[in-house]
Structure 1
Amino acid sequence: MPFDHNDHYHRLLLRQLPPTRPPHGRAALDIGCGTGRFARRLAERGYEVDALDPSAEVVAEAAAAGGGVRYRQADVTTEELPEGRYDVISCLASLHHVPFDTVTRLRAALAPGGTLLVLGCYAGMTPWDVVASPANAVARVAVYATERLRGTYTPPLKPPVKEPDMRLPQIRAEAARLLPGSRMRQLLFWRYLLTYRRPLGS
């Protein structure tokens, strides 16, 4: 079924972007970019986008789609990230593939005033998940039927998947410790939104 939980939240993430005024607001980094759909949306907003993913297969598909994004196969836990460069760093359903304290590397790569956006996955069940299950089923069928009728359905390329191992309370505690001043809220479809803005002058 073609309903993608991450794509569903693109508009929410885009609303968190900082103003794109020089000298800041033009450089973005997308971590775990997959086939590049969110990276291309950042590029459409005028950002110069670097996009990283450890999977050569999905990076190749992303690069074939173009969109003015600089894609490369890389592991964010070992890749050298330029200090204070990026005005936006996005991380969609990929932080749970690496140690959570990787956010400190992302924090350091933010420009002063820059924003880190994490659309994350969590382990365990919450009351929201009871609502999410039927809503997810309805959405998947609706999107699938619409694309079939339009003749636009193509099976999506699936990047490597890892189950999350941190529950929401643990994520909140670690985010508060490693990203002081960050904000986090739970979303439907087994996701949370974590936002952090690097203080000016830091």
Structure 2
Amino acid sequence: MSDQHPHEALPALLAQDEVVSYWDRRHESLDEFLSGGDVSFGYHANEAFYATRLGRLLDILQPTSVPLAPDRVLDAGCGKGWFTRALARCGYRVDGIDSSPHAIAEAAREAVGLDTYEVATLHEWAPPHLYDAVVAIDVLFHVTQDDVWLASVHNLAALTRLDGLLVIADHDHPGAHVWGQYQITRGSGLYREQLEPLGFEYRGFSPYRFRGNKGGFHTFERTS
């Protein structure tokens, strides 16, 4: 995979532990939307951006939960839990995990009932159950180290049940692209390279289509 990664010739990316520290400080210093949103947007634009992404995500998940048997969802890299709470309000049972202790503490204080929160990394989370859907919203492109990215993708795949969905937010260009010290986006080819041998079929890319943001959701279904 290294031949598809152009970042060796660019300014050095932060090590993953430095990225974790950066996000914990950011969650502590910024408000609900700005701490996990697009820093080029203001508060209200980010509020709309969150709502747009939630709508795209619900279109993909196509809610089928019923009160007696709610679908179980993992919000991997949940930050302060905005999407976790929104999915819980839609009837899902949701686990939110994040590497930021500050973000998880705030998310837990705002819990709405079907949502629970733990401090954990994407590559180390090991719950006693599988998920009907695993979602990683604008988080995997902040995993700067290739080995940690690989371990994260593989672990999220392992947590997705048969016929379940793995929904990963990223860009959709070939290979990988560095945008700064803590952001490297990866296209569908790199995800398919890892996930298809694990029994996942690619269901396509759903762009956000919000103010020029190039992100969107890659959807995979576990079929074997």
Q: Specify if TM > 0.5.
A: yes
- For the 8 Å contact 1:40–1:67, the answer to whether it is kept is yes
**Counterpart for residue 36 of structure 1:** 81
**Counterpart for residue 184 of structure 1:** 205
Residue by residue over 1:31-59, the C-alpha shift from the partner in whole angstroms, topping out at 9 and shown as x without a partner, is: 11011111112112222111101111111
**Counterpart for residue 164 of structure 1:** 183
Identity %: 27
Structure 1 residue aligned with 2:221, among 184, 197, 200? Answer: 197
Q: CA deviation at 1:164?
A: 2.1
- For the 8 Å contact 1:96–1:120, the answer to whether it is kept is yes
Length-normalised TM-score, structure 1: 0.69
Segments of structure 1 that go 5 or more residues without pairing to the other structure are: 126-160
- For the 8 Å contact 2:133–2:164, the answer to whether it is kept is yes
Determine if the alignment matches structure 1 residue 109 to structure 2 residue 153.
no
The 1:184–1:21 alpha-carbon spacing in structure 2 relative to 1, beyond 3 Å, is same
**Counterpart for residue 121 of structure 2:** 75
Q: CA deviation at 1:124?
A: 6.0
- For the 8 Å contact 1:25–1:87, the answer to whether it is kept is no
**Counterpart for residue 96 of structure 2:** 51
Structure 2 residue aligned with 1:15, among 39, 49, 59? Answer: 59
Q: CA deviation at 1:6?
A: 4.2
The 1:17–1:65 alpha-carbon spacing in structure 2 relative to 1, beyond 3 Å, is same
**What code does the residue aligned with 2:77 have?**
G
**Counterpart for residue 25 of structure 2:** none
The 1:173–1:24 alpha-carbon spacing in structure 2 relative to 1, beyond 3 Å, is farther
**Counterpart for residue 191 of structure 2:** 175
Residue by residue over 1:52-83, the C-alpha shift from the partner in whole angstroms, topping out at 9 and shown as x without a partner, is: 01111111111111212111111122222446
Give the Cα separation in 1 of the matches to 2:126 and 2:164: 18
- For the 8 Å contact 2:56–2:208, the answer to whether it is kept is no
- For the 8 Å contact 2:124–2:155, the answer to whether it is kept is no
The 1:6–1:164 alpha-carbon spacing in structure 2 relative to 1, beyond 3 Å, is farther
Q: Which has the higher contact order (CA 8 A, sep 6+)?
A: 1
Residue by residue over 1:70-107, the C-alpha shift from the partner in whole angstroms, topping out at 9 and shown as x without a partner, is: 11111122222446x10011111111233432222111
The 1:74–1:27 alpha-carbon spacing in structure 2 relative to 1, beyond 3 Å, is same
Aligned residues: 161
**What code does the residue aligned with 2:125 have?**
E
Segments of structure 2 that go 5 or more residues without pairing to the other structure are: 1-41
Length-normalised TM-score, structure 2: 0.63
SS at match of 1:113: strand
Q: CA deviation at 1:185?
A: 4.6
Structure 2 residue aligned with 1:100, among 131, 142, 149? Answer: 149
**What code does the residue aligned with 1:52 have?**
I
